């Protein structure tokens, strides 16, 4: 395998992270102005909301979990719901609408807290660049669109120390189906995806399972959240299922803290006393930096769905977390919950990127390889991108300054499942707009490193398959017929002795580790929240998002996080109905 010039590699890498593209007016396909989405009637800029209002449920974060949760809570049997989203609406950013805009969306990412970009860049203390969503719909509005259900064993092990979360699998499956009716589609597989599918089977990642949304060992085609016309569907579209008059979605609303109120703890025989504090609302600021108060009605709840950085960060800012750490930052302690910000995980991604010798269409992840049923081996995925090169490469060449110059890059990658390596998150600023500091300690556990070594060997075997020969380029100065054919590698190539040298392959894994944007943890179930996702030692406060995961649920988490929003929403409505029945029964007894 031959590496392409370093200069080109750096330009390609810079393209993926440079904050260069400004938002434009929302347009549909062919430049036609797109009709407003069905949920638009619920959306309002935070600057237009009242200084103080009361709700039954306040959902912090209009993302992957928050949107289905809010839609459910504002549906039959629910109450009045407020969603607070720090970013704007997807329609404000045209590249978000199609798969072809994926790279451009990453290029729009901006680290500045005050930016309007739909994604915010940050780098972990490990030195690995990353992004977090800052738009209604959350990661489902900016990601690669791959949809696949969780590994079945995940439901039996989800929770700190393997604590059973008592998932109702009938409700789990119906919640998945509720999401899938609106957001999951069967993709058309061709080009690079079809080649990778054949290569996986040739590399013995079998059996062939065809199209399925289930997590099954072998090679399969998963669902996509891009519909048959190529338009992205996101979690924000689920908001349309709310009942009119019950839902308000405030965008550009940054929650600064949870309002905590003392309550009288009640001692219970043989058990610890009930919480001494309760959430009674939140404070949020709009784009004009004006403060607003959203308060809870009696029996209401605050639910954090701000993601694996935002949810633990907001708990800490509100005085819920390790008491010693909070005191050292001058934050009043309302609840000593030592594991807030602990148990942070990010699945390592390693792979090989190639400039192919033949034209390839743009494609995001559709085909995956799952080598083993027990989830102990890395998952294999692939994508292809058509990206514009920097104008500097055209100077002095046959192209005019306005002539587009593009290059196709294809990639095949492995994702370490779990992972076992864990880190932590902590505050370095009291500014809620800024990302907290986080360290993931990638591949620090030898088991994860061994999985990466095995996974990269599988990647190499796929590239060695006969299907991949067509993507090799003729190299050297001999005649066309006599030239050797090799892959034109973007970035680091595998060591030449990858078949036998575990140490060299392990060094490759550590030196090229990147993120697949599936980070999770910080409010782990069984450690920060209970089996109903209530925060320990605090009443009327839950966390419902990927921050509660100790391990990622299979090849991609978005399906399960959306399912969880629907699932917990249904559970909360059942609880609301039960409380009403108790009150009615009590009132009837009193009247009698």
Binding-site entries for FAD: 135, 255, 517-518, 546, 557-558
Q: Other C-beta atoms within 10 Å of 284: how many? A: 25
Residue 42 · residue 239 · CB < 8 Å: yes
As a whole number of angstroms, the distance between CA 547 and CA 309 comes to 8
Residue ranges for the known binding site are 135, 255, 517-518, 546, 557-558
**Token representation of residue 61:** 């974060």
DSSP characters over 515-554: E-S--EESS-BTTTB-TT-BBTTEESEEE-SGGG-SS--S
For residue 414, whether the previous peptide bond is cis, meaning omega lies within 30 degrees of 0, is no
Q: What angle do CA 388, 391, 395 make, to 5 degrees?
A: 135
Residue 333 · residue 325 · CB < 8 Å: no
User: Residues 292, 518, 520, 577: which is the catalytic one?
Assistant: 518
Helical packing angle, 502-512 and 446-464, nearest 10°:
100
As a whole number of angstroms, the distance between CA 493 and CA 354 comes to 10
E strand or H helix that includes residue 182: helix 169-183
Residue 263 · residue 278 · CB < 8 Å: yes
Q: What is the DSSP letter of 373?
A: T
Specify whether 9 is catalytic.
no
Q: Other C-beta atoms within 10 Å of 325: how many? A: 16
Helical packing angle, 558-591 and 169-183, nearest 10°:
120
The catalytic residue positions are: 518
């Amino acid at each position: 395998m031959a590496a392409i010039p370093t200069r080109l590699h750096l330009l390609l890498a810079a393209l993926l992270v440079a904050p260069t593209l400004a938002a434009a007016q929302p347009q549909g396909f062919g430049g036609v102005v797109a009709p407003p989405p069905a949920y638009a009637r619920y959306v309002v800029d935070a600057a237009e909301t009242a200084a103080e209002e009361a709700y039954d449920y306040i959902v912090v974060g209009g993302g992957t979990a928050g949107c289905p949760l809010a839609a459910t809570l504002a549906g039959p049997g629910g109450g009045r719901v407020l969603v607070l989203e720090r970013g704007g609406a997807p329609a404000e950013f045209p590249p978000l609408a199609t798969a072809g805009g994926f790279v451009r969306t990453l290029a729009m990412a901006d680290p500045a807290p005050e930016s309007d970009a739909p994604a915010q860049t940050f780098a972990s203390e490990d030195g690995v660049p990353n992004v977090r969503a800052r738009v209604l719909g959350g990661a489902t509005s900016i990601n690669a669109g791959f949809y696949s259900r969780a590994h079945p064993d995940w439901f039996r092990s989800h929770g700190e120390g393997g604590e059973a979360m008592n998932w109702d699998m009938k409700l789990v499956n119906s919640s998945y189906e509720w999401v899938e009716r609106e957001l999951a589609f069967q993709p058309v597989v061709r080009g690079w995806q079809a080649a990778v599918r054949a290569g996986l089977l040739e590399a013995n990642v079998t059996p062939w399972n065809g199209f399925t949304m289930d997590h099954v060992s072998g090679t399969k085609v998963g669902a996509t959240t891009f519909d048959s016309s190529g338009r992205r569907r996101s979690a924000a579209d689920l908001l349309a299922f709310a009942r009119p008059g019950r839902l308000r979605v405030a965008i550009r609303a940054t929650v600064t803290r949870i309002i905590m109120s003392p309550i009288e703890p009640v001692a219970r025989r043989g058990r610890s006393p009930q919480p001494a504090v309760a959430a009674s609302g939140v404070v949020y600021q709009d784009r004009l930096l004006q403060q607003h108060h959203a308060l809870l009605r009696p029996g209401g709840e605050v639910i954090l769905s701000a993601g694996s950085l935002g949810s633990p960060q907001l708990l800490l800012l509100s005085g819920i977390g390790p008491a010693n750490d909070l005191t050292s930052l001058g934050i009043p302690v309302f609840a000593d919950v030592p594991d807030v910000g602990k148990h942070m995980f990010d699945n390592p991604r390693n792979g090989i990127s190639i400039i192919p010798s033949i034209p390839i269409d743009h494609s995001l992840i559709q085909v995956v390889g799952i080598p083993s049923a027990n989830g102990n081996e890395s998952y294999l995925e692939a994508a292809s991108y058509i990206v514009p090169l920097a104008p500097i490469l055209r100077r002095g060449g046959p192209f005019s300054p306005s002539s587009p110059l593009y290059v196709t890059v294809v990639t095949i990658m492995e994702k370490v499942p779990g992972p076992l390596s864990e880190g932590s998150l902590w505050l370095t600023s009291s500014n809620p707009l800024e990302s907290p500091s986080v360290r993931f300690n990638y591949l620090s556990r030898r088991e994860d490193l061994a999985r990466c070594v095995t996974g990269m060997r599988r990647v190499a075997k796929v590239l060695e398959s006969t299907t991949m020969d067509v993507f090799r380029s003729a190299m050297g100065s001999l005649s066309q017929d006599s030239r050797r054919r090799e892959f034109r590698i973007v970035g680091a190539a595998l060591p030449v002795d990858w078949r036998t040298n575990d140490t060299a392959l392990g060094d490759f894994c550590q030196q090229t580790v990147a993120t697949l944007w599936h980070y999770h943890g910080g409010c782990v179930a069984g450690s920060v929240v209970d089996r109903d996702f209530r925060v320990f030692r605090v009443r009327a406060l839950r966390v419902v998002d990927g921050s509660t995961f100790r391990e990622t649920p299979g090849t991609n988490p978005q399906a399960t996080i959306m399912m969880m929003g629907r699932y917990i929403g249904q559970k909360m409505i059942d609880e609301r109905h039960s409380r009403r029945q108790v009150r009615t029964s009590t009132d009837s007894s009193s009247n009698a």
